[in-house]
Amino acid sequence: MKLLAIETATESCSVALMLNEEIIELSEIAPRRHNEIVLSMCEKVLAQAQTSLTELDAIAFGRGPGAFTGVRLAASVAQGIAMGQDLPVVPVSSLATLSQAVYEEKQVREVFACIDARMQEVYYGVYKLSSDYLMELEGKEKVISPEVINQKVSSHCYGIGSGWNVYAESLHRAIGKKISFDADKFPQAKYAAMLAKAYYLQGQKLPAEEALPVYLRDDVAEKPKNKVVF
């Protein structure tokens, strides 16, 4: 299977090309520059693999939650490429991508993924490992003040994401215990690609026009207006 994944929901801009079991990835911390570099990153991973867009099976994208412009950019780029090549798209939660990274890197089976949403709020979701070795959401993803979160997790849960950098003390109070965390991790396309492959094989793929971002804050999802085509 050949799948291109794009993740731009946070400060990190990343692209990954999955070729069966191999993944070629590029990632750069580039706040406010994602729109300048994301297409060239796509071109570079394709060139490195000596693969063209016509050979792809699908385009995956980080659907959010995250920064409004970043989430919209990933959806727009994915939609543009998919429409140009008549490919399906596979949306992947950016919180799920963070959680999958923790499992793959640390073999942790329960994750409290949390991204700083600004305005004294966070995007968060609790994920647990499924029998398919995929991190699955428990309940709902939310945007909320960390001060009012009331979430039960096990002592083996692990925190991940930029929300822990700003609100670790409040989050520990919210879950009623102190857990280990990594506040410096951002969602990466490599792990989005892993999830997208599984979703694709499960039939969770959509036509390009349904490449919708998820913002959570306003509970709205608009179709991207700017279609980007190579």
**Taking a C-beta distance cutoff of 8 angstroms, is the pair 14, 7 a contact?**
yes
- How far apart are the C-alpha atoms of 123 and 215, rounded to whole Å? 9
- How far apart are the C-alpha atoms of 51 and 67, rounded to whole Å? 31
Q: Where are the domains of the chain?
A: 2-93+187-210, 95-182
For residue 141, is pLDDT > 50? Answer: yes
- Secondary structure string (H, E, C) spanning 26-76: EEEECCCCHHHHHHHHHHHHHHHCCCCHHHCCEEEEEEECCCHHHHHHHHH
SS3 of residue 104 by DSSP: helix
The pLDDT of residue 221 is: 43
Calculate mean pLDDT across residues 31-43: 96
CATH topology match: 2-93+187-210 vs 95-182: yes
Give the tens place of pLDDT for each residue, 47-76: 999 999 999 999 999 999 999 999 999 999
Give the tens place of pLDDT for each residue, 70-118: 999 999 999 999 999 999 999 999 999 999 999 999 999 999 999 999 9
- pLDDT band, very low/low/confident/very high, at 218 (cuts 50, 70, 90): low
The pLDDT of residue 190 is: 98
Question: Which superfamily is assigned to 2-93+187-210 in CATH?
Answer: ATPase, nucleotide binding domain (3.30.420.40)
The pLDDT of residue 126 is: 98
Domain 95-182: CATH class, spelled out: alpha beta
Q: How many percent of the chain have pLDDT more than 70?
A: 94
- pLDDT band, very low/low/confident/very high, at 216 (cuts 50, 70, 90): confident
Q: How many percent of the chain have pLDDT more than 90?
A: 91
pTM for this entry: 0.93
Strand partners, 159: 112, 181
